């Protein structure tokens, strides 16, 4: 086949669609062994019938960059590195250029700009039929998808392979021809993020100071530590998304007593995972966030609970959001509360006491009546001791009992899908 009849760009695209081998070789012989790309002089394209078509790696293509045609070697190298980030691709291209110079070649690999590279890869994999960088075959009036004689032959073999690949079944050849002309649209990754999906979770950390500032009415989002890191503001967040508050985040108050079985260091694992672990006295956490779906309040959207040990930074409206108070039976815990006597407090808020199974309940908890839920868990045993985990499954039962009681109390106070408490505050 004459070189003038060959369209290298279409050959590569059809080979990718058909899944046929593309081998870099030092000669144009059909049985030439594969060689590294810096030493390669040809790319061998295998056909469905076993034939091989060699194309020089320095053959110009219809892909234009700054109005100049890009050679086949650069196109093929860009396809091989389609999964890597743009800076990794540029570094790899630089290394290849150095290797080309080492073997005595003056040719260099073209480094595609980000948009050019994205457009090329999208076209090669068949997600797009048009490209602003690809010159139409046969002149301005010809279609970019129309190939020459050699391209047509390879297109037929690609269609046959396509026919065999669909659902693992051989379909009618006429349907295969139709399928080969389909226009494939890209998914959200290729359209919005390029060829390699990008993880944007780090943006959330960068946005926290700005969101906090908006939530707190334009005040300072935090205090800058000597090392340059941001310390969160002492005030509690009102809403996780900022803007108008429709449903506030419910608050759970913990006991600051050292005798409390559930402290800031272990309350989250207990309420989320249903497993008790001893509290860590070295923990410095002052706030936790915990999400939980309350089916009888909002089955479609989880509520975010805020867990704190004291109301030192409360605003007046925060008390209407308190849905539970964990206590050890010591009344001094409530001195700084809005309702600073147990009798008044537990008229408005559900109390929770968690103690060891088999030990007596504090007299204070007994005196406060049914408004304080009395729960007992098995005593902690060193996991190294045989049989230590035998009864730990009961922890989940206790945690679920606490959640059911909190949910019932929230419904009684008027919590709804889009609003907080409206009764008894």
pLDDT reported for residue 235: 46
Return the minimum-mean-pLDDT range out of 131-145, 235-249, 378-392. Answer: 235-249
Domain positions in the chain? 3-192, 199-218+237-246, 247-412
Residue 73: which H helix or E strand, with range? helix 72-80
162-168 CB contacts, 8 Å cutoff, 24+ apart? 162/17, 162/18, 165/19
CB 230 within 8 A of CB 208: yes
353-412: per-residue pLDDT in tens?
A: 999 988 898 888 888 888 899 999 888 887 767 666 666 788 899 999 999 999 999 988
Q: Under a CB-based contact definition with an 8 Å cutoff, are residues 375 and 353 in contact?
A: yes
Cα–Cα distance between 240 and 306 in angstroms, integer?
11
CA distance 97 to 93: 6
Mean pLDDT within 119-135: 85
Residues forming a β-bridge with 45: 22, 53
280-331 pLDDT, tens digit per residue, is 877 777 788 898 988 888 888 888 898 988 888 888 888 988 999 999 888 8
CA of residue 241 relative to chain centroid, distance? 19
Q: Enumerate residues 6+ apart whose C-beta is below 8 A from 8.
A: 43, 55, 59, 60, 61, 72, 75
* Kind of pairing between the strands at 350-356 and 322-327: parallel
The beta-carbon contacts of 411-414 under 8 Å, at least 24 apart in sequence, are 411/296, 411/297, 413/323
Provide the CB-side half-sphere exposure for 67 (13 A, CA): 0
User: What pLDDT score was predicted for residue 87?
Assistant: 87
Contact between residue 237 and residue 250 where contact means Cβ atoms under 8 Å apart: no
Predicted confidence band at 46 (pLDDT cuts at 50, 70, 90)?
Answer: confident
Fold of 247-412: Rossmann fold (3.40.50)
Using DSSP, state whether 115 is helix, strand or coil.
helix
> 86 burial class (0-12, 13-18, 19+ CB within 10 angstroms)?
middle
b/e string for 44-60 if b means 16 or more Cβ within 10 A?
bbbbbeeebbbbbbebe
Sheet holding 22-25, edge to edge: 22-25, 42-46, 52-56
DSSP 326-341: EE-S-GGGGTTSSS-S
Average pLDDT of the chain to the nearest whole number: 78
- Look up the pTM and report it: 0.44
């Amino acid at each position: 086949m004459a070189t003038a009849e060959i369209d290298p760009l279409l050959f590569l695209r059809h080979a990718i669609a058909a899944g046929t081998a593309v081998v870099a070789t030092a000669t144009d012989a059909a049985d030439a062994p594969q060689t590294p790309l810096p030493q390669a002089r040809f790319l061998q394209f295998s056909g469905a019938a076993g034939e091989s078509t060699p194309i020089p790696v320095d053959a110009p293509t219809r892909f234009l960059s700054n109005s100049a045609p890009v050679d086949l070697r650069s196109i093929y190298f860009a396809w091989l590195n389609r999964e890597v980030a743009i800076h990794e691709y540029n570094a790899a291209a630089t290394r290849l250029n150095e290797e080309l110079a080492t073997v005595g070649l003056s040719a260099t690999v073209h480094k595609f700009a980000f948009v050019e590279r994205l457009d090329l890869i999208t076209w090669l994999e068949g997600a797009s039929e048009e490209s602003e960088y690809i010159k139409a075959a046969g002149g301005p009036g010809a279609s970019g998808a129309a190939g020459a004689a050699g391209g047509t032959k390879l297109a037929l073999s690609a269609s046959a392979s396509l026919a065999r690949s669909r659902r693992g079944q051989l379909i009618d050849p006429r349907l295969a021809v139709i399928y080969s002309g389909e226009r494939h649209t890209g998914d959200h990754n290729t359209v919005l993020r390029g060829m390699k999906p990008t993880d944007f979770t780090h943006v959330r950390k960068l946005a926290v100071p700005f969101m906090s500032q908006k939530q707190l009415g334009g005040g300072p989002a935090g205090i800058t530590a000597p090392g340059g890191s941001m310390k969160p503001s002492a005030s509690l967040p009102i809403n996780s998304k900022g803007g108008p508050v429709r449903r506030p985040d419910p608050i759970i108050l913990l006991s600051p007593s050292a005798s409390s079985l559930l402290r800031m260091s272990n309350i989250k694992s207990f309420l989320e995972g249903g497993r008790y672990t001893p509290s860590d006295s070295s923990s410095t956490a002052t706030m936790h966030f915990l999400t939980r779906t309350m089916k009888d309040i909002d089955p479609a959207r989880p509520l975010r609970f805020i867990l704190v040990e004291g109301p030192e930074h409360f605003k007046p409206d925060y008390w209407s959001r308190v849905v539970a108070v964990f206590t050890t039976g010591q009344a001094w815990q409530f001195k700084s509360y809005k309702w600073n006597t147990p009798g008044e407090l537990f008229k408005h808020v559900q109390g929770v006491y968690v103690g060891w199974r088999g030990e007596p309940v504090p007299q204070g908890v007994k005196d406060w009546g049914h408004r304080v839920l009395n729960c007992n868990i098995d005593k902690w045993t060193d996991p190294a001791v045989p049989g230590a985990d035998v009864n730990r499954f009961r922890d989940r039962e206790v945690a679920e009992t606490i959640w059911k009681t909190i949910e019932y109390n929230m419904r009684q106070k008027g919590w709804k899908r889009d609003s907080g408490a409206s009764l008894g505050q």
